[in-house]
Amino acid sequence: MKINLPLKIEIPNTQAEFELGLMFRESLEEDTGMLFAFAENGEHSFHMRHTTIPLDIAFITEEGVIESIKELEPLRSSPVYPDSNIRYAIETNRGWFAENNVNVGDNVFVDDWRNEYKPTEIESIDLIKPEPLRPSPSILDESTRIPTEIGNLIDVYLAWRGRNYMIKMFFPQVSKPSKAEVVKQIHKVYPGSKVWNYERCDYVPGQPFLRIGT
């Protein structure tokens, strides 16, 4: 049976947007959600650290079948896992799946969907693909270098021009930078932005970051 779901899906365009997810948002519009597509199958977990919106999550297999639907509690840092290996997940407002009669075992994506982002013939889901944030070429060149000295790699969560973002920054100093230092550097790249939070993170080879000059 053909099902037309009234759900608009936002898809992260970058690794930073993927990791940020729905953190720091004050609300999520009715009939909207976020889709997460992983590079490979696995027991991919989700947490609600810095997320204040009550959410439901549908874990989805590579074949597009809903494997499980679980509740995500606001601000809970403990991970929530699927019951088996999955490839995709959709987060939306608490109760949306039940209200729209979406259940475990339903098929939500066609088989070739995993190769590109596009709506399925079965569901007619509208896709909202946010425009990726593009630093200037000089900043991008600097952000791809691997640090060779002692310092602090920081995940910075911020709001800029009505959107929430997460960006990695490297400070070549022994002590953790103060919020004032982080805000000062962020404003050089995203003028007028609001910094929600920042925390130390581990370096992952190949993952881009902005390096702060001394």
Q: Domain count for the chain, please give it.
A: 2
Residues 198 and 206: their CA atoms lie apart, in Å, by: 21
Q: Say whether both 86 and 153 belong to one domain.
A: no
| Statement: residue 46 has pLDDT above 60 | yes
| Residue 147 or residue 100, greater confidence | 100
Q: Average model confidence (pLDDT) for the chain?
A: 78
SS3 5: coil
The number of helices, as runs of H, and strands, as runs of E, in the chain is: 4, 10
Range of the domain at 43: 8-128
Tell whether 202 and 144 lie within a shared domain. yes
Nearest to 9 by CA among 28, 31, 34, 43: 34
Is 102 part of a structural domain of the chain?
yes
CATH of the domain at 111: 2.60.120.1140
pLDDT mean over 75-101: 93
Q: Which of 93, 128, 163 is the last residue of a domain?
A: 128
- Phi, psi of 101, rounded to the nearest 5 degrees: 55, 40
Q: What is the pLDDT of residue 108?
A: 79
Is residue 141 located within the same domain as residue 59? no
Whether the per-residue pLDDT at 174 is higher than 90: the answer is: no
Distance CA 127, CA 140 (A): 28
* Structure tokens, 22: 């729905």
**pLDDT at 133 (0 to 100):** 43
One-letter amino acid at 207 equals: Q
**pLDDT tens readout for residues 114-164:** 444 333 332 333 333 334 444 444 443 333 344 466 788 888 988 888 777
52 and 121 together in one domain: yes
Residue 163 falls inside a structural domain: yes
Whole-prediction pTM value?
0.61
SS3 29: coil
> Has residue 2 been placed in a domain?
no
Same domain, 162 and 116: no
- 3 or 197: whose pLDDT is higher? 197
Residue 36, beta-bridge partner list: 89
Residues 154 and 108 in one domain: no
pLDDT at residue number 4: 60
